C-alpha cells in the first residue's frame, strides 16, 4: 500500500477509537477530490458542496463498515458516486438552477483562455446528457485519472462493464460535441476501389 493508504487506515482506526481530529484529517486529505467528483457528476456547485458534505456525513456514520481489503480512497469514491446518484435522483424530482457558464474556470492547457471556457462549457453540457452510470465512468477514469480496475472497485461493477460504459459514453460525447465522423458512404456495389 502507499503511504497515503497506510495513513488513511491509521486515521480510520484512530477515529473509530474516538479521535475526532483523525476524522478531520481524513476530510482534509480527501475533500478536494471528493468535491471534484461531485462537481463533475452534478455540474452544480451548490449541489456538489451538498453532496460532498453528505459523503463525509456517510463516512462519519459508517466508517466502521470500511474493510481494509481495498484502499480507503476506493471506498470513499464509491460512497461519493452513490451520494451523487442519490442527488441526481432527487434532482429529477425537483430541478435546481445550474451554475452559470461564466463561473467555469478556463482550461489551463488551452492556448486561448477565452475559447477554453467555451469548449469546457460544451464538454460539461455533453457530460450532463450522459446517463449517470456512463457519466460516473467518464468522470472517474477520464477526468480523475483512475485506472479501469480502480473505477471497477469504486463503482462495484466488473472491469468489462467499465470498458463498455466508457466506450458508449465516449461515443455519445463525440456525437454531442460533433467529433464523430460518419462512416464513408459508398454506393451499393462500390467497394471504394478504382
- What mean pLDDT is reported for the chain? 81
Which of 8 and 187 is assigned the larger pLDDT?
A: 8
- Cα–Cα distance, 158 to 165 (Å, whole number): 11
| 45-50 CB contacts, 8 Å cutoff, 24+ apart | 45/99, 45/103, 46/96, 46/99, 47/87, 47/91, 47/96, 50/87
169-187 b/e with 16+ CB inside 10 Å = b? bbebbeebeeeeeeeeeee
Residue 66's CB: how many other CB atoms inside 10 A? 18
> CATH classification of 1-99 is 1.10.1740.10, yes or no?
yes
Question: Is the model's pLDDT at 8 over the cut of 60?
Answer: yes
pLDDT given for residue 91 in this prediction: 78
- Cα–Cα distance, 135 to 19 (Å, whole number): 36
Tell me 147's DSSP state: -
Q: Cell 503511504, residue?
A: 3
Question: Is the model's pLDDT at 184 over the cut of 60?
Answer: no
The mean pLDDT of 92-104, rounded to a whole number, is: 52
Total residues belonging to the chain: 194
The three three-digit cell numbers of residue 128, written as one number: 450532463
CB-count exposure of residue 39 (10 Å: 0-12, 13-18, 19+): buried
- Cα–Cα distance, 113 to 108 (Å, whole number): 7
Question: Is the model's pLDDT at 191 over the cut of 90?
Answer: no
pLDDT in tens, 112-169: 444 444 446 777 888 888 898 999 999 899 888 889 999 998 888 999 999 999 999 9
Residues with Cβ < 8 Å from 120, sequence gap 6 or more? 104, 105, 106, 107
pLDDT given for residue 143 in this prediction: 85
The mean pLDDT of 83-89, rounded to a whole number, is: 92
The three three-digit cell numbers of residue 157, written as one number: 461493477
Domain chopping of the chain, boundaries: 1-99
The three three-digit cell numbers of residue 64, written as one number: 466502521
Amino acid at each position: 500500500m502507499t503511504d497515503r493508504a497506510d495513513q488513511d487506515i491509521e486515521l480510520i482506526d484512530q477515529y473509530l477509537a474516538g479521535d475526532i481530529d483523525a476524522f478531520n484529517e481524513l476530510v482534509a486529505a480527501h475533500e478536494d477530490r471528493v468535491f471534484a467528483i461531485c462537481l463533475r457528476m452534478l455540474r452544480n456547485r451548490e449541489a456538489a458542496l451538498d453532496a460532498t458534505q453528505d459523503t463525509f456525513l456517510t463516512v462519519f456514520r459508517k466508517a466502521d463498515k470500511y474493510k481494509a481489503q481495498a484502499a480507503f480512497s476506493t471506498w470513499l469514491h464509491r460512497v461519493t458516486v452513490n451520494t451523487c446518484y442519490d442527488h441526481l435522483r432527487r434532482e429529477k424530482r425537483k430541478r435546481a438552477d445550474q451554475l452559470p457558464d461564466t463561473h467555469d474556470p478556463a482550461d489551463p492547457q488551452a492556448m486561448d483562455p477565452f475559447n477554453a471556457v467555451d469548449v469546457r462549457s460544451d464538454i460539461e453540457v455533453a457530460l450532463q446528457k450522459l446517463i449517470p452510470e456512463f457519466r460516473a465512468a467518464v468522470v472517474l477514469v477520464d477526468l480523475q485519472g483512475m485506472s479501469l480496475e480502480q473505477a471497477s472497485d469504486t463503482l462495484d461493477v466488473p472491469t468489462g462493464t467499465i470498458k463498455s460504459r466508457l466506450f458508449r459514453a465516449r461515443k455519445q460525447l463525440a456525437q454531442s460535441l460533433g467529433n464523430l465522423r460518419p462512416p464513408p458512404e459508398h454506393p451499393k456495389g462500390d467497394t471504394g476501389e478504382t
